[in-house]
């Protein structure tokens, strides 16, 4: 048994890595006529669309008395607070304090709410949750990190669900291929080769590991490699996506796998962003896609994703969520664990996340130092 000293997780990191673009909501879930309140990285946010349909992300708090803007309304392309009727435009600037009876009155000009850069891409609303001065955001990097998303031969669906566990435990689970046959082995996908696949439930208790599954568990066959921003665990005989045989993590929080489809043809690509809502819950947004060889294949593939694949995924994630919830919270899980040789994936992923966080802290400290020196110089000049 390996002995390890418990890993120390800084408080801030328990609720996610800031200064990244995050897909915070499927586009389809953000209507044009009302705001939506969400919590991501332990911050309450309000999403809404202006008159042009452009999405915006603000801190969910009116500048006046702090009421949640997400219980307000969208009026004339502005976000209106439900308490006193203050209206904000897409930049977060207050444009109307009704009591002033004029637009852009003196009080309105002095009020604004914090807004985050927002974009819409690949069927999701993306928000840059971070400090734009210290870490200036580029465009949404998803196409560089996940080239399939930009591949026009693919069809995609976007889905989301919530886990009752800390995001770091969720990533432990996702980057661990070895729980798969045991935890999820109680149902099979049958019949192989049929036109339409269906799920077959096996008895849920006392899972028995089949020979096929045992093969997956032969961990000597796997190799884990890491860069400063990603971790790839892959079977050495990796070939064509005919079994689940690799998983890749990319900072800040995406994991992707190939999932074979029992009727054959292109495997399914699942790219899942697993982000903290708060210390105890995780929001997972999925891009689920499949390559196609012709226009005619697109609709059947989309249907396969919407029905069979999402049903199977949801079942798998229910089980994962249940097990991770039963690790009893991040502190207990990390304090009491004894990682084995098969846990190389999770350990590497944690290290990449922790290293990224430390690099950010170093840069913030540097920035504060620079600002401090600037102020000192200014004081000296003034003196």
Pairing of strands 268-276, 20-26: unpaired
Least distance to another protein from the beta carbon of 186, Å?
Answer: 42
Tell me which H or E stretch contains 230: strand 230-235
**Which one of 7, 26, 42, 82 is in contact with another protein (CB under 8 A)?**
82
Binding flags for another protein, 321-350, as an x/- string (CB under 8 A)? ------------------------------
The C-alpha atoms of residue 375 and residue 185 are separated, in whole angstroms, by 62
Contact 99, 114 (CB under 8 A): no
Least distance to another protein from the beta carbon of 90, Å?
Answer: 18
Least distance to another protein from the beta carbon of 38, Å?
Answer: 14
Q: Decide if residue 93 touches another protein (CB under 8 A).
A: no
Q: Read out DSSP for 20-52?
A: EEEEEEEGGGS-SSS-EEEEETTEEEEEEE-TT
Binding flags for another protein, 109-128, as an x/- string (CB under 8 A)? -xx-----------------
The C-alpha atoms of residue 255 and residue 230 are separated, in whole angstroms, by 9
The C-alpha atoms of residue 219 and residue 222 are separated, in whole angstroms, by 5
Contact 81, 89 (CB under 8 A): no
Q: Decide if residue 85 touches another protein (CB under 8 A).
A: yes
Q: Decide if residue 61 touches another protein (CB under 8 A).
A: yes
Contact 98, 86 (CB under 8 A): yes
Give the interface segment with another protein, choosing from 11-19, 77-85, 178-186, 353-361 (CB under 8 A): 77-85
Q: Decide if residue 107 touches another protein (CB under 8 A).
A: yes
CB contact burial 154-168 (16+ within 10 A = b; e otherwise): bbbbbbbbebebbbb
Nearer to another protein, 18 or 61 (CB): 61
Q: Read out DSSP for 270-290?
A: EEEEEEESSSS-EEEEEEEEE
**Which one of 5, 101, 152, 201 is in contact with another protein (CB under 8 A)?**
101
**Which one of 98, 117, 329, 339 is in contact with another protein (CB under 8 A)?**
98
Q: CA-based Rg of the chain, rounded to a whole angstrom? A: 24
Total residues at the site for another protein (CB under 8 A)?
21
Rule CB under 8 A: which of 10-29 touch another protein? none
**Which one of 14, 39, 64, 363 is in contact with another protein (CB under 8 A)?**
64
Least distance to another protein from the beta carbon of 74, Å?
Answer: 8
Interface with another protein (CB under 8 A): 61, 63-68, 71, 73, 75, 82-85, 97-99, 101, 107, 110-111
């Amino acid at each position: 048994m390996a002995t390890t000293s418990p890993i120390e997780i800084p408080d801030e990191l328990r609720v996610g890595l800031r200064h990244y673009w995050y897909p915070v909501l499927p586009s389809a879930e953000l209507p044009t006529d009302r705001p939506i309140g969400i919590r991501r990285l332990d911050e309450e946010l309000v999403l809404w669309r202006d008159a042009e349909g452009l999405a915006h992300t603000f801190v969910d708090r009116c500048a006046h008395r702090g009421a949640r803007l997400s219980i307000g309304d969208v009026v004339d392309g502005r976000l209106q607070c439900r308490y006193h009727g203050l209206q904000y435009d897409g930049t977060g600037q207050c444009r109307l304090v009704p009591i002033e009876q004029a637009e852009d009155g003196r009080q309105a000009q002095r009020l604004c709410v914090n807004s985050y850069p927002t974009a819409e891409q690949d069927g999701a609303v993306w928000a840059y949750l971070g400090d734009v001065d210290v870490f200036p955001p580029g465009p949404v990097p998803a196409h560089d990190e996940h080239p399939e998303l930009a591949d026009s031969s693919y069809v995609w669906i976007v889905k989301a669900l919530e886990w009752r566990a800390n995001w770091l435990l969720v990533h432990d689970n996702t980057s661990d291929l070895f729980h798969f046959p045991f935890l999820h082995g109680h149902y099979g996908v049958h019949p192989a080769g049929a036109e339409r696949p269906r799920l077959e439930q096996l008895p849920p208790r006392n899972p028995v590991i089949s020979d096929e599954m045992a093969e997956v568990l032969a961990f000597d066959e796997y190799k884990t490699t890491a860069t400063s921003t990603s971790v790839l665990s892959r079977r050495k005989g990796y070939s064509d996506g005919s079994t689940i045989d690799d998983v890749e993590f990319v900072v800040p929080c995406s994991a992707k796998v190939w999932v074979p489809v029992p009727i054959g043809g292109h495997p399914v690509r699942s790219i899942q962003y697993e982000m903290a809502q708060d210390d105890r819950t995780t929001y997972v947004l999925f891009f689920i896609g499949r390559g196609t060889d012709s226009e005619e294949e697109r609709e059947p593939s989309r249907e396969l994703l919407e029905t069979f694949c999402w049903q199977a995924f949801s079942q798998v994630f229910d089980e994962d969520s249940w097990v991770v919830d039963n690790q009893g919270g991040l502190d207990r899980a990390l304090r009491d664990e004894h990682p084995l040789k098969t846990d190389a994936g999770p350990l590497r992923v944690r290290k990449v996340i922790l290293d990224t966080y430390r690099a950010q802290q170093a840069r913030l400290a540097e920035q504060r130092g620079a600002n401090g020196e600037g102020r000192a110089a200014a004081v000296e000049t003034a003196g």
